[in-house]
Amino acid sequence: MTPATRHDLLTQALQVYSQAEIAARCGKNVRTIRRWKSDQSCPRIAEAALREMLQDEPRSQSGNGQPDFRFIDLFAGIGGIRRGFEAHGGRCVFTSEWNEFSKKTYQQNHRDPDDAHQFVGDIVSFPEQSVPSHDVLLAGFPCQPFSIAGVSKKNSLGRPHGFECTTQGTLFYDVARIIDAKRPVAFLLENVKNLMSHDKGNTFRTILDVLRDELKYDVHYKVIDGQHFTPQHRERIVIVGFRQETGFSFDDLKLPASGPRLASILHKTDGSEPLLPHDGERFFDPMRRSVQPKYTLTPNLWAYLQAYAEKHRAAGNGFGFGLVTPASVTRTLSARYHKDGSEILLAQGKGERPRRLTPRECARLMGFPDDFVIPVSDTQAYRQFGNSVVVPVMREVARIMVPHIRALLAQDLPSQQARVLLHA
């Protein structure tokens, strides 16, 4: 490929990605991307990254400038699931997230001037009739146990039953009541892998019964490991449903056989670390080319973790810290990472104390680009990324869902047009 052709690739990428996103994917800083653009040059080493970005089909929209589909974002966290569906032509029309810190991060990173939709806190008290019409429902709902006690008594008294009885008081109930009221063409629900075994499998069976038997959706589910896309072993269950039977299959996922290693997300100490204005020197000192010292464990904490691990090792238990190197794939990042960082500690050389990942590295570990702003404290940032989704996983699931979403919407179009003419 000639330099001119590589520059054409860069030009195409700049039409749909920011300079910061391209810099992060190519392992460069924004000034370098800006220079490539102005000099009409682009090195061979960037070719593969640019091709990969363009193959993601990011942010595609229909030819009339309208979104391909509308979605709502429930239990939204910091917007990880949203990003996956926006990348394939969707527009968010409603968001719910109760945590004020997560809301701050979400709104800081989703400021589309055309995106003035409603943002509510607690979905539990929000009436389903007031949720705007949408094509796709997205929800990373928390896992809670369901109680089926009293169903027969309620039946005898003529009180509500079905999912209104078995799931009421849980957050899944709020997902179900909105699906029931709005009948979107599709939904995606995300949860921890243990949802399948929770309460001896009763929780998951109840969810499937509600979605399939009561709401009458064609439901598919799969556990997907984030390490296909980022250097983190993170298994999550993804439940997908369509209002009508489709040809959807999780077999269509393109999961790289060999994912990246930790080195790909670590701050670079060779002078190539991107300079991010929104980070400043909060996580990384560009002059010293090193991570800020506060992320290295104190002598007392390191001594405690080693003693704790030795105690459990002697007892035959597997508890302990997770020491990693740049060649590693990490354990699952958890919301409690801010406490001691023990599940992912980066070795810094013989005789040196290890360090935590910085919040920026955690963002990268979850697949967020470097233009993602972290406006909260380190403690809150660790909680948010530990509770988030691996963004490239959501983008890949959205990729295989969207053709079926479009097909179902196309089937709905004649009846929608007829209703418009009837009321004209």
Q: Check which CATH number belongs to the domain holding 190 and give it.
A: 3.40.50.150
83 located within any domain = yes
Q: What is the mean pLDDT of the chain?
A: 85
**pLDDT over threshold 50, residue 156:** no
pLDDT in tens, 252-297: 999 998 899 999 999 999 999 999 999 999 999 999 999 999 999 9
pLDDT score, position 168: 60
197 vs 383, residue with greater confidence: 383
352 located within any domain = no
pLDDT score, position 60: 44
Same domain for 37 and 146, yes or no, is: no
Same domain for 21 and 170, yes or no, is: no
pLDDT score, position 198: 83
From the list 26, 42, 92, 143, the catalytic residue is: 143
Domains in the chain, number: 2
**pLDDT over threshold 90, residue 161:** no
Q: Which residues 6+ apart lie within 8 Å of 51 measured at CB?
A: 9
346 located within any domain = no
pLDDT score, position 142: 79
Residue 191, classed as helix, strand or coil, is strand
Distances in whole angstroms, Cα of residue 308 to Cα of each of 129, 303, 399: 53, 9, 44
Same domain for 25 and 119, yes or no, is: no
Full-model pTM: 0.79
Same domain for 168 and 25, yes or no, is: no
- For the ranges 31-45, 148-162, 232-246, 370-384, the lowest mean pLDDT is seen at 148-162
Same domain for 7 and 74, yes or no, is: no
Q: Cα separation of 247 and 147, whole Å?
A: 34
358 located within any domain = no
Listed residue (184, 251, 244, 249) closest to 220, CA to CA: 249
Same domain for 47 and 188, yes or no, is: no
178 located within any domain = yes
6 vs 50, residue with greater confidence: 50
Same domain for 32 and 95, yes or no, is: no
Residue 364 falls in which region: left (phi positive, over 0), alpha (psi -120 to 50) or beta: alpha
Structure tokens belonging to residue 219:
């439901």
Same domain for 10 and 123, yes or no, is: no
pLDDT score, position 68: 83
**pLDDT over threshold 80, residue 352:** yes
Same domain for 165 and 218, yes or no, is: yes
Q: In the chain, pLDDT over 70 holds for what percent of residues? A: 81
Q: Which residues 6+ apart lie within 8 Å of 92 measured at CB?
A: 70, 71, 72, 73, 82, 85, 86, 110, 115, 117
Mean pLDDT (whole number) for 377-397 = 97
45 located within any domain = yes
Active site residue 42: no
pLDDT band at 4 (very low <50, low <70, confident <90, very high): low
Distances in whole angstroms, Cα of residue 40 to Cα of each of 22, 35, 356: 15, 8, 40
pLDDT score, position 419: 44
Q: Which residue has the tokens 């989703």?
A: 110
Residue 223, classed as helix, strand or coil, is strand
93 located within any domain = yes
Q: Cα separation of 364 and 230, whole Å?
A: 8
Same domain for 142 and 189, yes or no, is: yes
Mean pLDDT (whole number) for 26-55 = 76
Which runs of E-coded beta strand occur in 279-329? 284-285, 290-291, 323-324
Same domain for 73 and 24, yes or no, is: no
pLDDT in tens, 20-30: 667 766 767 77
**Structural domain span for residue 50:** 3-55
375 located within any domain = no
DSSP letters spanning 139-187: E-PPP-----TTHHHHHHHT---THHHHSTTSHHHHHHHHHHHH--SEE
**pLDDT over threshold 80, residue 340:** yes
Residue 248, classed as helix, strand or coil, is coil
**pLDDT over threshold 70, residue 67:** no
417 vs 348, residue with greater confidence: 348
Same domain for 245 and 194, yes or no, is: yes
pLDDT score, position 71: 96
